[in-house]
Chains A and B, each alone.
Chain A
Amino acid sequence: MDKSLSLVHVKLLAFDLLSLAQAPTDPQAFSRDGFSLSRAEVLGIVVSRELKPGRFLKFAVDDGTGCVPCILWLNHATSPYFARQRPQGVRLIADVANDQASLVKLGSVARVRGRITSYRGTVQITASSVAVERDPNAEVLHWLDCLRLARRVYGRLGS
């Protein structure tokens, strides 16, 4: 398994991302054409949104080839994960996350980056950053980027 992409946010179209298989050895990793992947970036229109304040925001992003479920955690105050960090720092991160959550609106074009995870057998993205794109051309550029990367980088081992 080639690990050169394991730290990179790979740009994949939804149909491609959703068909990823979990690596048998490492549940954190997913495999595609001999590459081990763990992070991804998707871009598309927000088609669903479910907010549990103080806990999480669940939303889905449709890029025209499929719909990727995403989760943005907002539980910084309660999560034991952040307990060891300086409260002010955690608050900063929490504020940023809440800020990002407020940007996710139905119909907006969102760029989501995060870890590829699996929830109830389905691939989803645990978002680490969400940005809203104002330029509609960003969506086309994302498709082209996915194509270009698939050809020149991700397809390297497969072909």
Chain B
Amino acid sequence: MEGSDATVLSIAELLRQHRPFSATSSLRSTSRRRLSPPPPESRRRNEEFRDPDPSPRVLTPLDHPVMLVGTVAIPVRDGDGHCSAALNCSNNGTCFQFSDGASRICCDVLDFSAHLLGKRIRVVAFNFIPFKHGGGFLEIIRWSFAQSHGGLRPCLSSSALALGSDSSSEDCSKARSCVRGVVESISPVSVVPCSSGTSFDSGGARNLRGFLAQLMICGCKLCRSRDITKVLMDNSNGSSESHAYSLPEFVYFCGSASFWHPAITKLIGDVVVLSRLSKKLIYIGKDESQVMFVTTDESLLHLLEKPSRMSTRTSDYSIYTGLVTGIYMQGMVVELDKKVWLLLTDQQFQLPHSLRAGAVVSVKNAHLLHGKYSWAEMLILGGCFRTSILVEAWSPFETSCYIFSDMQSMLGKFIATLSYPARLWVLLTISCFCKKFSGIFLEKEMLGSKKKEGLLQMYVSSHLPSWAFRKRHGVFMEMCKHNLCGFNCELGYTKLRLIVPFSLLVRHCESIWEGLLVESEKACKVSDDDNKSSNLYGVNGSCGQLIKRIIPSDNIGITLLGNLKVSPFTGRLQLADASRSLDVVIPDLPSTWNSNSIYEVSDYSIVITGVSQRPGQLRPFDRESFSCRSIFNYTPLVREMGLDISIYFHLKNAKCIDFHETSEDEHEKLGSGSYHILRIVHKFPLLQKLSADPVISASMFVEAIILPWYLFLADKDGVERLPYALMDQLEEAVGRNSNKWADGSSKRLKTDITLMPCQVIVRGVKTSLPARPGSLGRVKDSSSNGISYKVSPHKIWLEFQPSDISKYQMLNIGGYYILKHGKEEKLRHLEDYARGMKIHFPSETKLWSLSFSPRDTLLHNLPHDSPLCTDQVRLGEETGNFTKKFSGYSSETFPDICLDVSTKAAGPFWMDLLEMEHSLTNPTVNTEDITVSSCSGDMISSLSSKFPSRGRLFPDGDLVSINGDVIAIQRFESTSCNLYPSHENLLTSSQQSRYLIGDTSSIHIHVSTGNGTVHIFGSLRNHAYPIGFGPGVNATFCRILKLSGREGFLLTPISFIKTNSLTMINEQCGTKDSTMQSVSDRRVAFNGSSSGFISELTQDPACSTMQLRCKVIAVHILILEKTNIEMDCLQSGFSHQSSLINIPIAGFVVEDGSSLCFCWANADRASTLLRLNEKLPQTALESTNWTLKWVGKEKNASRASAYYVDRILKKHVKITVRNCGSLLDSSRQDLMISVGSHNVLGNFEEDILKYILLYASFATDWNIVGTAMDINAARQLQKQHFLEMEMELDSIQHMWAVEVSHVNPLTEAKRTIEELLPSGRCND
């Protein structure tokens, strides 16, 4: 007898304890079968929560039996018709109440029966969950009637329960209808504003509260009867089986009956009879009306037995039962079973308190959709007004109750007007946005308020296509016309892109990186035999070597959103959000960029550079990094891998979002006046002080040359100001030469200056402004009047304060800039001290980058080794008009200002410019310490200066600049202060390199220049390390020391590395196969490739490799080459002879019974598929007369195909075979064979080759692990190998073979049978 010795608790005591607990000790003492049966999901639930997820704590069980005595009732209304607020319950009258006479709390009952309502019960097993702000929630697990001593509930067949307040009244004149049916769905409680006095409620013009229930009724005569006794009688006959509940009918529970919402929810699926209803025509929309039953104060609810089956009517609604694994976004998103996302965004919807993480719930009448986004796919359960949630088993965890918060904001309303996949996207975006910009924006600013739309809504609505919106019709309309809430458009959501916090992106990149490493490790292992270049750079294994990967944005599927800023720690340009900042490279960033703006970038590349790790250090690839769960549950990264991740994009592809509506006017405009023209000669790397403060605190220095020319800009009215600057210049020039100069300067000015007109085009952040007239001017060199003077370029050093780091970063070596000349004190400094002296650069002074046009004219006249002529692939080479024009310097292709100077008119200007450029490359520079570079080769050019030689203690040589492609970089941890590391020294320091951590590291850079590979050694501080620097970068190494008497160059503390372009080379295993790289980039995990059919091979980028068992039907394309390694292993059998034959590419037609496929392979894979290592049958030799040609039949008898191929290659170097005949039929092939030598392929050679290809198509099955390729990748592959494009191949699926192996029929059969018998095990 349960509860006999239990302590009776009062509700007040429960509330006083204010802690969650579970009082279930009574359940343990009694037989389990008598309990409400354990939920079907309970086993699964335990399994799911066993994983090391930070799962919530299990509810503390009370060690002694307790019980509660009281009544469960529908919510009690107060005077306003609202549920009592005393309960602290936000669910306005939609949950049951438990009362013990003294106080009340919210409750829910697991095995609910309407009969318990109002009866005194004993609750012997329950969970208590306190609310945060007082009050609590009782989850009743087991109860019994207090009167019945046996603890069993009376089995009442049917009894009437009064829905209204006035059931005793016998006056049923108005309300005589009754309805019998299965409760199908119910709407949330809504309030209809009533202005007329004909309210059902007692208080006159009071708003009408109510909800709609849809009942499925039977059309039979009996059910249609108005006589309630007849209707109820039918049930006693037990003939409910004969009823077909298929006709929809609506009942409007209004007034006091509206408080029956929780009870009716529990009755979904049950047969009920409602009597004393009235039938009315209700307006459900503006022009729509519907006849429905309406409850009155006298209405009664009669309960019948549950129908054995649900109605036969097919419904598009579903019941989904699952475990709640997470509740996010204030309950708007509920995660079920870790895979289904239940959206409850309608504001009228009120979640039951018992919907806690860990509970098992049934979701009834929700729309199940398949959400396909660019970053993930998921199942969505869309909740509409018909959706009900019933909790089937209470959560065993201490998870808190959902407290309904008022989401009446504009954003909430906005979300409700979207289709489900769009809603989930918006919710994810909200979650990300808030995390990204917490601290940057106020929460209210982001989310908006009731009256004002927030930033989020602005952002989101600008990205949603029009069809993502849908019209809402209100609860009544959507309940009655359920097709109105049908959402069938699931397409097109792949265009919606996610914005994630950058730290999450970093985590994702790390996952990709590790996947790639695992893969490359494997690939290296595979091709180790025939590989010859992995140790090319003197690296043992691949450890310690820098590897770089570029991932295009399409493979990431997300949009970047962040603030552009310059990091105060590293001085680098960064895209930042609240979670993290990422280094960015923006080639076209104008000097006038706005750091207040938020940029949205959807077209970008992520450059990841890192050290290849040792096997075994890799973590498994985490596919979950962009799952909804990890986004909603986001926690900042604790520890990162230390990869160098940078983003590369063009500003023209980015969208500037001005949330603060700042306009370009705020920026400093290029006003009228006179400007200096500077040319940057060298940038000195950032100096790091030996202080603990990571913020850059030292000044930065830039070496520049001031041209004797000024740029004069007319003001808006076109009035040119008197070029005072020239007067200053003149004064200065003359004053330097003669002290006699006193007055009449303005008179002289007219005669001594040169002025030439030009057009000035200013590029804005967003648009180019119209051209403005301007002029270039300088003082003529003169020697008249006994005063001779000459104006020449001055060398200056600009000193930038740490706060001006962004200005320093923007400057490019070799670039031209203009600087305002003024009468102000500070700018006079520039004039006065511009004599090779250091000048302090005032922080308010602005520099604009400058370019000249026309370009061609100038280029023709330039010396060939001038930096102006360097012909390189530039960052952003294919961009707009500005790049076409003379760009001033190699990588500066996006200047702020473009000067259009006609060559004819501005001859003197060009002459000066040319002379200066010459002076920078020729030895005629005035300073005596600069000499010409003695270095050979035209790749070494530019300024060179003598490094002071001090015996043998220090390295000596000339300072030179080198431009070239970085092939490889090795990093070594610097432990000793080895300023002069020798080649050998560096290579023997075999310490494990720790990448990008630590301040200084020794590096060894292999750079490919036009004349070969050069080696650059030295130590490089992180600050001097350019963003994205790594293999594949085209870089200029400015002022590095050419070691005299030794090979190699040394980086010095003043050396500056400038990256010109980023390209991708595949340093994986030393092969330069970019196509293979593009394929392998897409497959991020090699392990666990699933087996399947060709017809199931998809081009999904997320899809990893697939194992196929297929046959070669025909060889379509084949290139055979001789390898460079000469190994005389011809006599030693042919176990490894494939290494002698290089197959750069081969294309096979393969088939597996399900479909055809074009399989591309190279190296060993191709060799295996060609059966080159298998012995050719005797007939081959007989039919090709091979025996006659070579040696003797006996000796040839045991040769493999590779032997013959090798012999042919020895003669012809390279063989290309193409099939011009039937793609499929090997006997109808028409093979075209071409050779690399000038010799003609002999008949027998041709025959044996053809035989080998034919023989390859008679093989049995191969196991091919491959990845799908799209047609573009296949085309690129063909292009790369100079193969003709064949239209025929366009329609066929393409694949890249990663691994090829023989089939073991026994193993395969076992695997297949296991697949065919899913539950059975295949025993040996």
Residues of A at under 8 Å CB distance from B? 4-5, 7-11, 41, 88-89, 91-93, 95-96, 98-100, 111, 128-129, 131, 133, 135, 137-138, 140-141, 144-145, 147-149, 151-153
Contacts and interface: CB of A to CB of B under 8 A. Distances in A.
Interface stretch (B458-466, B778-786, B1220-1228): B1220-1228
Contacts of B1243: 88
B1312 A92 contact: no
Interface string B1119-1158: 0000000000000000000000000000000010111100
A7 B1095 contact: no
B1176 to A, nearest CB: 11
Contact of B1315 (A88, A91, A137, A148): A148
Given A7-B1224, A92-B1251, A128-B1226, A144 B1312 contact: yes
A83 B1254 CA distance: 20
Contacts of A129: 1226, 1257-1258
Interface in B533-569: none
Nearest to B1315: A148
B569 to A, nearest CB: 57
Nearest to A130: B1258
Interface residues of B, number: 37
A135 B1183 contact: no
Contacts of B1184: 92
A93 B1177 contact: no
A132 to B, nearest CB: 10
Contacts of B618: none
A152 B1153 contact: no
Contacts of A7: 1156, 1224
Given A92-B1247, A151-B1316, A99 B1309 contact: no
A10 B1247 contact: no
A138 B1305 CA distance: 5
A90 B1009 CA distance: 53
B1290 interface: no
Contact of A96 (B1095, B1111, B1151, B1254): B1254
Interface of B: 1093, 1095-1096, 1111, 1151, 1153-1156, 1177, 1179-1180, 1182-1184, 1224-1227, 1243, 1247, 1250-1251, 1254-1255, 1257-1260, 1305-1306, 1308-1309, 1312-1313, 1315-1316
Contacts of A93: 1227, 1254
Given A99-B1179, A140-B1309, A4 B1155 contact: yes
**Chain A binding surface SS class:** helix
Contact of A137 (B1151, B1179, B1183, B1306): B1306
Nearest to B1306: A137
Given A88-B1243, A137-B1306, A149 B1154 contact: yes
Contact of B1153 (A9, A92, A128): A9
Contacts of A95: 1179-1180, 1182-1183
5 contacts: A9-B1111, A95-B1180, A111-B1260, A141-B1308, A141-B1309
A28 to B, nearest CB: 14
Contacts of B1227: 93, 128
B1181 to A, nearest CB: 10
B1092 to A, nearest CB: 9
A153 B1182 contact: no
Contacts of B1260: 111, 131, 133, 138
A145 B1258 contact: no
A12 B374 CA distance: 39
A92 B1316 contact: no
A146 to B, nearest CB: 8
Given A128-B1227, A151-B1316, A8 B1155 contact: yes
B1098 to A, nearest CB: 15
Contact of B1312 (A8, A10, A41, A145): A145
Contacts of A137: 1305-1306, 1309
Contacts of A100: 1258
Contacts of B1258: 96, 100, 129, 131
Contacts of B1250: 89, 92
B393 to A, nearest CB: 37
Nearest to B1093: A153
A1 B1226 CA distance: 27
A96 B1184 CA distance: 11
B1254 A92 contact: yes
Given A91-B1183, A111-B1260, A149 B1153 contact: yes
A8 B1183 contact: no
A96 B1309 contact: no
Contact of A144 (B1151, B1180, B1313): B1313
Given A99-B1177, A144-B1316, 5 more contacts: A8-B1156, A41-B1153, A88-B1247, A92-B1184, A153-B1154
Contacts of B1257: 129
Contacts of A148: 1312, 1315-1316
Nearest to A153: B1154
Contacts of B1259: 131
A152 to B, nearest CB: 7
Contacts of B1151: 8-9
Contacts of B1247: 88, 92
Nearest to B1255: A96
A137 B1096 CA distance: 26
A116 to B, nearest CB: 14
A96 B1179 contact: yes
A147 B1155 contact: no
Contacts of B1224: 7
A138 B1111 CA distance: 14
